[in-house]
Homo-oligomer: A and B are copies of this chain.
Amino acid sequence: MTVRLGDNQYGKAETHVVRVTKKGDLHDIKDMTVSVMLAGDFADTHLEGDNSKVVPTDSQKNAVFALAKESPIGEIEYFALRLARQLVRDHASVRRARVSIAEQPWTRITAGGNPHPHAFERAGSEQRLTTVTCTRDAEWVVSGVTELTLLKTKGSEFWGYPKDRFTTLPETHDRVLATAVEARWRYRSADLDWSASRAEARRQIVETFATKHSLSLQQTLFAMGEAVLEARPEIAEIRFAMPNKHHFVVDLQPFGLENDNEVFYASDRPYGLIEGTVTRDGAEPADQAW
């Protein structure tokens, strides 16, 4: 029998760097958790323990910190591109560098009615994501959001599904719909106004969730993707993973009370999970980007 090494990659995960940029007393901060994964000519270390082509993950971490100093502060896509390009350029053994960043947004504290020059509060659990993948010949930028938690108390139905011996769910024309959106979209270019594009993609997702009458979470998903692609020509495709965070109507009849969709029990597990992709016609496939 013979065995062989298949796909492999490695890198430093979750380097948490905070970069402060100062114009006198006026400070800005960027709070990023940066993960690097490298693929390439790494068979020797697997087979022989020969590390002569293995860029230490410790050096990758150092590169993150150094680049955070050298680079002008910009959007995370820009930072990830800088870092991924540098890793491919500096190391012949690296065929593909993938840099993933989760950004934790902060907002400026308002004190005495004015925005404070150097004090901040965390802006919630939602995070901005980017994954940049660079090879010698190509590069891809995928950006997104995670933990964007949305809920609507009207305008959601679920009925018309097949009934079989395992069906106990009653049909409903009025339910709470709640989800925590993880959306990631692939750009058609690596040179864009990342901030504007992200803000607008996010806005389309949120507004579509609110305004689209929903017959299924799948329909909402597709409508959100369609809205993003229609509004943002720079985006080739968008992928969603959305839990259906069930809110069950509590049976209050034992207590002599009616419950006209007013009191809900929010359940943790199990949950529905809906995953789907919306693609622009003619967009070239790019599985390496993800």
Residues 250 to 275 of chain A near chain B (Cβ within 8 Å): 250, 252, 254-259, 261-275
> Which of chain B's residues has its CB closest to A16's CB?
B266
List B contacts of A42 (CB < 8 A): 218
Give a binary string over A234-262; 1 marks a CB under 8 Å from any B CB, 0 the rest. Answer: 00010100011001001010111111011
Q: Are B13 and A162 in contact (CB under 8 A)?
A: no
A14–B257 contact, CB under 8 A?
no
For the complex, give the distance between the alpha carbons of A16 and B176 in Å: 15
Complex-state Cα separation, A17 to B31, whole angstroms: 28
* Residue A284, interface by CB 8 Å: no
> Measured between alpha carbons, how far is A4 from B244 in the docked complex, in Å?
23
A42, A159, A206, A265 interface centre (most CB from chain B within 10 Å): A265
Given the interface pairs A1-B230, A51-B158, the reply to whether A206 lies near B10 with Cβ below 8 Å is no
User: By the criterion of a CB under 8 Å from any partner CB, how many residues of chain A are at the interface?
Assistant: 143
- Alpha-carbon separation in the docked complex, A274 to B165 (Å): 39
Contact (Cβ within 8 A) B124 A20: no
A62 touches B (CB below 8 Å): yes
Contact of A74 with B by CB under 8 A: no
Per the 8 Å Cβ criterion, residues 39-69 of A in contact with B are 42, 45-63, 65-66, 68-69
A272 CB, min distance to chain B CBs, angstroms: 4
Contacts of A250 in B (CB 8 A): 17, 65
Q: For A22, list chain B residues within 8 Å (CB).
A: 153, 262
List chain B residues, Cβ under 8 A from A273. Answer: 10-13, 35, 37, 57
- Chain B residues contacting A10 (CB-CB under 8 Å) are 218, 272-276
Verify if A149 is at the interface (C-beta below 8 Å from B).
Answer: yes
Whether A118 is near chain B, meaning CB under 8 Å from some CB there, is yes
Residues of B within 8 A of A138 (CB): none
Residue contact B62 to A207, C-beta cutoff 8 Å:
no
> Once the chains bind, are B109 and A121 in contact (CB under 8 Å)?
no
Q: Does B61 contact A270, Cβ atoms closer than 8 Å?
A: yes
**Judging by beta carbons under 8 Å apart, are B269 and A16 in contact?**
yes
Give, as a whole number of angstroms, the nearest-CB distance from A180 to chain B.
Answer: 8
Residues of B close to A57: CB separation below 8 A: 244, 270, 272-273
CB neighbours (8 Å) of A243 from chain B are: 13
Name A272's contact: one of B13, B154, B155, B280 (CB within 8 Å).
B13
B160 touches A51 (CB 8 A): yes
A259 touching B69 by the CB < 8 A rule?
A: yes
10 residue pairs from A and B, CB less than 8 Å apart = A3-B280, A6-B279, A10-B273, A22-B262, A46-B222, A49-B215, A52-B161, A57-B273, A109-B210, A120-B151
Besides A1-B280, A119-B152, 7 more A-B contacts (Cβ < 8 Å) are A6-B239, A10-B218, A53-B162, A60-B166, A121-B150, A121-B206, A268-B269
